[in-house]
Amino acid sequence: MNKKDHLGAVLIIIAGIFWGSMGIFVRHLTSLGFSSIQIACLRLTLAGIIFAIILLIRDPKGFKIHVRDIPWFLALGLVSILFFTCCYFTAINLMTMSAAAILLYTSPIWVMILAIIFLKEKVTLQKIIALILAFAGCVLVSGFGGKVSVPGILAGLGAGLGYGLYSIFGKFVLKKYSPLTMTCYTFLIAGAGSVFVADPPDLLNKINAAGNLLNLFGFVLLTSIVTAVVPFLLYTFGLNRTTAGKAAVLATVEPAAATLFGFFVMKETIGPVAILGITFVFSAIIVLALTHPKGE
C-alpha cells in the first residue's frame, strides 16, 4: 500500500469510527419523540446546509456543476443516501436492529460486484479474504437473531445496496468535482428529498413540543457534524485515494466502533462473541493494509 492508499485507508477508518457513534445521538432524539425518518431528515437537511456554508467559504466556484452531471448528483443524494436511509430504518422497524445491521453490511459485497462491472477493479485474494472477515465480524458483533421477514430482508438488502452505491457513484463524480462539492450537493438533495417522507406537519409539531428549541437545535447540529459532515468528508476524501471495493470493506469498522461506544459510553456489555467479531473486522483492515498496490 503506497502513501496515498495509506492516507485514504486511515481517513475511511476514522469516518467509520465517527459513524459508529450515531446510536448515541439517535437514542437521545428518539427519546424526544422523533421517528427514525424524522431524525434522518433533520440530520440530512442540516448537514446539507453546513456543507453549503463550508463550500461557500472554501470554494464558491465549487457550486458550479455541468447540467449533464446533475443525474450523478441526484443518484448520490436520492438513490444512495436517501434510499439507503429509508430502507435501513424500514428494515429496523420490520426486524431486529442486529438483523438489519447485518443486511446493511452486505454493502461491501454489492460494491465489490459493481466495482468489478463498472469501475473495472480487479478481484484479489486479499480483497476476498478481507470481505469474508469483515462480514463475519459484522455478524458476530451484531448477533443475528429475532424476527425475520421477507419485506425486512429486501429492505435490509436495499439499504446495503444504497449504502454501497455511494462509493460507486462517488468514484465517477470525483473524477470531475472536489469531495466538498460532491458531499454538498449530495446532502442538499438528500435533505430536500427527505422532507417528503418525514411527515412535515408532525415533525414541526414535535419540534415545537420539544421545549427548549435552542438546546434541540444545538444537539441536532452536533448530530449532523459528528455523524454526517465530518465522516462523509473524511470518507469522500478517502474514497478519492483508494478503490471503491477497499473503501467499502474498511468502512465496516463502523459496527465494531458502535459496539465499543456502547460499552464505554452507554455502559452496554460486550460478550466474547462480539469481541471476536471486532477482532475479525480489524483483521480485515489489516489484510487490506498488507495488499500490494499492484494487486488493486
* Per-domain boundaries in the chain: 3-295
Alpha-carbon distance of 73 to 186, in angstroms, equals 6
Residues near 248 by Cβ (< 8 Å), separated by ≥ 6?
107, 108, 110, 111, 112, 164, 167
Mean pLDDT, residues 242-248 taken together = 82
- For residue 269, is pLDDT > 80? no
For the stretch 112-124, pLDDT in tens is 788 888 888 888 8
Q: Is 148 left (phi over 0), alpha (psi -120 to 50) or beta?
A: beta
- For residue 296, is pLDDT > 50? no
The predicted pLDDT at position 65 comes to 96
The pTM is what? 0.81
Which three cell numbers, joined as nine digits, stand for 296? Answer: 488493486
Residues near 253 by Cβ (< 8 Å), separated by ≥ 6?
13, 16, 17, 20, 281, 282, 285
The predicted pLDDT at position 154 comes to 85
3-state secondary structure (DSSP) of residue 259: helix
- For residue 207, is pLDDT > 80? yes
Residues near 183 by Cβ (< 8 Å), separated by ≥ 6?
51, 232, 233, 236
The CA–CA distances, whole Å, from 51 to 67, 94, 293 equal 20, 33, 33
CB count in 10 Å sphere of residue 291: 20
Lowest mean per-residue pLDDT among 3-17, 52-66, 175-189: 3-17
Mean confidence (pLDDT) of the chain: 85
CB count in 10 Å sphere of residue 161: 23
For the stretch 125-152, pLDDT in tens is 888 888 888 888 777 766 654 555 778 8
The predicted pLDDT at position 148 comes to 59
- CA dihedral angle for residue 228, residue 288, residue 162, residue 18, rounded to 10 degrees: -20
